[in-house]
Amino acid sequence: MLPALVALATVAFYPILNGIWLSFTNTSLITNASGFVGVANYVNLANDGQFWNAWVHTVVFTAVSTGIETVIGLGMALLLFEHFAGRSFIRAAMLVPWAMPTVVTSKMFGWLFDGQHGVVNYILVHLGVLSGNVDWLGSARTALGTIILADVWKTTPFMALLLLAGLQTISPTLVEAARIDGATGWTAFWYVRLPLLLPTLLIAGLFRALDAFRVFDLVYVLTGGGPADSTETLSTLSYKVLFSTLQFGYGSAMTMAMFVTEGAIALGFCLFIMRQLRRQA
């Protein structure tokens, strides 16, 4: 196991430790400074309105996209669990959005929601839903919602796949017994399938929430964090601080704050999952 541990330490442990160290320095390639400043970066971070703006956007994006993807993914999984003609083809086709590179998805949604010539505006205006074109990605009111919609379209199949695997582990005899006892489809789902599926549901939600919190390419390609920082996330802001302004010390403190937030999300999910597993045991 030694070669694997060395490789892991090289590509994972060392960068993390180095990032922690840099967060306590004022390292910058612009000023050529590289001195220890203690917690000064974190104090500045606590008073940085731009950081908190990005933090709120990231949390909102994570919560809303994960919630919607979980609900829609569960519905898709329940449908694909049933037997019908062409089920195998539908299951394979369902994964196409998830398999597409995120940059391709971003460009596609950029064209669809273009403020002047987008297909979405054309359809909604001709249906009478809108009186005129809307600049979906150029308006602070609609940009974040449009990005969330793009993420939901791309990642919902991933949630459906995980939940479908969880449904297949539930013994069909339990549902059959509930039906014999007079349970309707909704009752069997609510009192039999859902409680048994809950650990899988929570684990899938954990994976998706951690992935959503790191969103970068979707935002960077569609809006770059604009307009007026209305879609700025921690990943895009950290990228700009680290690689545009070359403030490695302050940028590392920002990434450490992001790391701590993700750790808190993971801890909350894990505690809830353990509670559910103990109840079922």
- How far is the first Cα of the chain from the last one, in angstroms, to the nearest whole number? 34
pLDDT digits (tens, 9 = 90+) for 39-84: 999 999 999 999 999 999 999 999 999 999 999 999 999 998 888 8
Contact 200, 165 (CB under 8 A): yes
Residue 169's pLDDT band, with cuts at 50, 70 and 90, is confident
Tell me the fold of 50-245+261-280.
Answer: MetI-like fold (1.10.3720)
Helix crossing, 49-81 with 194-213: angle to 10°? 140
User: In this structure, what token pair is assigned to residue 15?
Assistant: 């960068």
Residue-averaged pLDDT of the chain: 89
Amino acid, single-letter form, for residue 99: A
Phi and psi at residue 118, in whole multiples of 5°?
-70, 150
pLDDT at residue 93 in the model: 87
pLDDT interval class at 244 (50, 70, 90): confident
* The predicted structure's pLDDT at residue 171: 84
- Kindly state the average pLDDT of the residues 216-237: 92
Distance of alpha carbon 202 from its chain centroid, rounded?
A: 14
The span from the CA of 145 to the CA of 61, in Å, is 9
pLDDT for the residue numbered 257: 92
pLDDT at 11: 85
Q: Is the pLDDT of residue 280 over 70?
A: no
Question: 92-96, 119-123, 155-159: lowest mean pLDDT where?
Answer: 92-96
Q: Are 276 and 198 in contact (CB under 8 A)?
A: yes
What pLDDT, in 10s, does the model give residues 175-204?
888 888 887 878 888 888 888 888 888 889
Task: Render pLDDT for 134-155 as a digit per residue (tens, 0 to 9).
Answer: 999 999 999 999 999 999 999 9
For residue 24, the model assigns a pLDDT of 94
Rounded mean pLDDT, 159-169? 90
Q: How confident is the model at residue 234 (pLDDT cuts 50, 70, 90)?
A: very high
Decide if pLDDT at 14 tops 90: no
Residue 83 has a pLDDT of: 82
Tell me: pLDDT of 33 over 90.
no
- Residue 281 has a pLDDT of 62
